[in-house]
Amino acid sequence: VASKKKTKSKESNFEIGLLDTDKGVVTRFPPEPSGYLHIGHAKAAMLNQYFAEHYKGKLIIRFDDTNPTKEKQEFQDSIVKDLELLGIKGDVITYTSDHFDALYEKAIDLIQLGKAYCDDTIQEQMRTERMNGVASARRERTVEENLRIFGEMAKSSEEGVKNCLRAKMSVDNPNKAMRDPVIYRCNPEKHHRTGDKYKIYPTYDFACPIVDSIEGVTHALRTIEYRDRNPQYWWFLEALGLRKVHVWDFSRLNFIKTVLSKRKLAWFVEQGLVTGWDDPRFPTVRGIRRRGLTIEALKQFILSQGPSKNVVNLDWTIIWAFNKKVIDPVAPRHTALLDQGLLTAKLIGGPDTPVTEDKPKHAKNPEVGQKKVVMGNTVLIEQADAKTFKEGEEITLMGWGNAFVTKIARPDAEGDVTELELTLHLEGDFKKTEKKVTWLAKDQNLVDVELVDFDYLITKDKIEDDEDIKDFINKSTMFTEKAIADCNIADVKEDDILQFERKGYYRCDQPAKDGKPAVFFCIPTGKVGK
């Protein structure tokens, strides 16, 4: 008798109500090594780990490698690394391919039970028959005939390759997943682990319940779109007399203007529309990290999602808002000014010989450390700020003090400021000024930087099944601005996250090196439109 336990965990919104948990919980995360992990996989992996930990059970990481056409060692290796990065530690790593012999035996068992048959109906016709609930002409082949042809399939003989093996479930069940699904097919390609040892491979639908059962999985967490396939999952276990597994559905993670299918992501890579699987515009674990998402924020976001089974199209602003809360208290503050129209202003009262002072990198958090601030009698100001100045006005040079605008020349009222003179007024109250501007003393080792921002790769919130992604490719998705930054930026390392004041948060993708500018990626903050 199943015992029902319900506990509400404090650290997340997940209401946990697993069955039979007193017998020990075993969950599994089964990625197919056909691409890099994306944020949806991260959710599935974290959920499985969360359940395993909560019930002091076990987590299996299983490579679901049943299709050599799509799978590669490169993908498998990257998944191992990314799981490590996410802090997902399986108790064991397994491979569906380790069970190929056992699965083959189970297929033979099904044939002998009269519950599977070989079918050489051409694909198109098979699809139509399934759609219309019509039986295949091969459905009543004898056990002997099926065993013989399945043997031919295993050899990939001329007769064998024309066939696939189907489970004899139903011809016209209203649930189309139950209409004699294909469970084995030939594939001549080399498998990345088993090489050319096998010429037939089980389908996911067949392998999954059997391997779950063999490996001792007690609770299979599956995304909600598999719900129609739950009855066939149980059918296989029952037909083969295998131990039952509980299925627990959770909602698939989707984001607006975002592709979360490995097949489609692979297409973007192949077309050269991105720089690779770790492109900062990609929803892969590597891509979002390059864009500046912290693992901590990712975890908080996923746990906040709760047990909802509704499939919704989330906005990225939600996740970036979590990230901002993580990075804001620790991101050092620096200054960068856009090259475009940069103005050199004379600063009366500024030291003739530049003075360098140590100042906190973060006003509210001394632990972030100190930076050098150079002060001199010539300062650089952004044109956009200078254009707002009026002669006689008192402004604040952030992190230094107030100054009066003592001279400003703007010959063309619509054009650039051509000359600017400021006079330092350190007694002035910065609380009373309206304009607080960023500035840099000219006389320091300024660092050339590139500030890069990105847009979504596609132009439509949700691409429907009957729509072609090619019609919704965003043509312009990367925007680079040249800027100069304070001397401390020379020491910034790859992956460092900082704030350029009045500009935003950035992650260093490439430090300054060999005369090339440092490259910084803008980190969205969760504000709409950013």
Integer Cα distance of 268 and 264 in angstroms: 7
E-assigned strand segments in 412-455 = 419-425, 436-437, 439-441, 447-454
- How far is the CA of 486 from the CAs of 82, 323, 382, 438, 444, in angstroms? 34, 25, 14, 11, 8
Which parts of this chain interact with ligand ATP (CB under 6 A)?
30-32, 40-41, 43-44, 64, 222-223, 252-253, 260-262
Q: Which of 28, 32, 168, 290 is catalytic?
A: 32
Shortest separation between residue 36's beta carbon and ligand ATP, angstroms: 10
- Helix (H) or strand (E) holding 201, with range, is strand 200-202
Please name which of 302, 157, 309, 160 lies closest in space to residue 223, comparing C-alpha atoms.
309
Which parts of this chain interact with Mg ion (CB under 5 A)?
32
In the complex with Mg ion, which residue's Cβ is closer, 32 or 152?
32
φ/ψ of residue 439, rounded to 5: -155, 165
In the complex with ligand ATP, which residue's Cβ is closer, 262 or 334?
262
The answer to whether residue 394 is catalytic is: no
Return the residue nearest Mg ion (CB atom). 32
Return the residue nearest ligand ATP (CB atom). 40
The answer to whether residue 105 is catalytic is: no
- How far is the CA of 322 from the CAs of 70, 295, 377, 453, in angstroms? 35, 11, 41, 19
Shortest separation between residue 229's beta carbon and Mg ion, angstroms: 11
Q: Which residues of 458-488 are buried (b: 16+ CB within 10 A; e: fewer)?
A: beeeebeeeeeeeebeeeebeeeeebbbbbb
Angle 60-66-70 from CA coordinates, rounded to 5° = 110
Shortest separation between residue 261's beta carbon and Mg ion, angstroms: 5
Q: Pick from ligand ATP, Mg ion, none: which does 217 bind, CB < 5 to 8 A by kind?
A: none
Q: Pick from ligand ATP, Mg ion, none: which does 260 bind, CB < 5 to 8 A by kind?
A: ligand ATP
Integer Cα distance of 119 and 160 in angstroms: 10
Q: Are the CB atoms for 526 and 323 separated by under 8 Å?
A: yes
Q: Copy the structure tokens of residue 100.
A: 């190929």
Shortest separation between residue 491's beta carbon and Mg ion, angstroms: 44
Q: Pick from ligand ATP, Mg ion, none: which does 44 bind, CB < 5 to 8 A by kind?
A: ligand ATP
Q: Pick from ligand ATP, Mg ion, none: which does 30 bind, CB < 5 to 8 A by kind?
A: ligand ATP
In the complex with Mg ion, which residue's Cβ is closer, 82 or 453?
82
Q: Are the CB atoms for 438 and 335 separated by under 8 Å?
A: yes
Shortest separation between residue 3's beta carbon and ligand ATP, angstroms: 26
Q: Pick from ligand ATP, Mg ion, none: which does 436 bind, CB < 5 to 8 A by kind?
A: none
Shortest separation between residue 204's beta carbon and Mg ion, angstroms: 6
In the complex with Mg ion, which residue's Cβ is closer, 12 or 97?
97
Q: Pick from Mg ion, ligand ATP, none: which does 480 bind, CB < 5 to 8 A by kind?
A: none
Q: Which of 43, 58, 229, 262 is catalytic?
A: 262
- How far is the CA of 216 from the CAs of 33, 65, 158, 237, 404, in angstroms? 22, 19, 38, 13, 75
Integer Cα distance of 164 and 126 in angstroms: 11
In the complex with Mg ion, which residue's Cβ is closer, 118 or 259?
259
In the complex with Mg ion, which residue's Cβ is closer, 119 or 205?
205
Integer Cα distance of 474 and 20 in angstroms: 49
Q: Which of 252, 333, 372, 407 is catalytic?
A: 252
Shortest separation between residue 84's beta carbon and Mg ion, angstroms: 21
Greatest Cα-to-Cα distance within the chain, rounded to the nearest angstrom: 100
The answer to whether residue 262 is catalytic is: yes
Q: Pick from Mg ion, ligand ATP, none: which does 209 bind, CB < 5 to 8 A by kind?
A: none
Which are the catalytic amino acids? 32, 252, 262
